[in-house]
Amino acid sequence: MFADLALLFSSALLAATIFPAQSELLLIAFLGKYHDQHLLLFLSATIGNILGACINWIIGVYFFYLSKNNLKMLKYKKILVKYGTPSLLFSWLPIIGDSLTLLAGYYKINFLLFLSLVALGKTARYFILIKIFN
């Protein structure tokens, strides 16, 4: 069980960074395997995914350089500017979420506000997945 939790945590962490990974499918598979451990699976996936978003925020603060030639990142910047920090509730979305968390770091959005919004969105996503596939 510990190895599977570590795998789920790692997959969720990577999925929240700029690296491609799928934690949802792994979570669903483990829900069937561990019928009585849904809370541990939920916590492992959620904490890993939130920490991955925090890594993106740190990368954004210290290393991210927004190029004017990068039209895709400019598109996500428009989302963040248009909808403000509440758009971070959607940080769980593929591609868009990663970009939003990087930009949040780049624009030095308050970390506690960032963490609160990201945690809320990611927690809700995994909670809903577990309810659907339980």
Mean pLDDT over 105-119 rounds to 94
Q: What angle do CA 110, 48, 116 make, to 5 degrees?
A: 25
Mean pLDDT over all residues of the chain? Answer: 89
> Residue 134 has what DSSP assignment?
-
| pTM reported for the whole predicted model | 0.89
**Long-range contacts: 91-96, Cβ < 8 Å, 24+?**
91/16, 91/53, 91/117, 91/118, 91/121, 91/122, 92/49, 92/121, 92/122, 92/124, 92/125
pLDDT for position 6 = 97
**Cα distances (Å, whole numbers) of residue 81 to 24, 45, 89, 119:** 29, 29, 14, 20
- Asked if 48 and 123 count as a contact pair (C-beta separation under 8 A), the reply is no
34-76 residue pLDDT tens: 999 999 999 999 999 999 999 999 998 887 665 555 666 667 7
Overall residue count recorded for the chain in this entry: 134
Q: Supply the pLDDT for residue 65.
A: 62
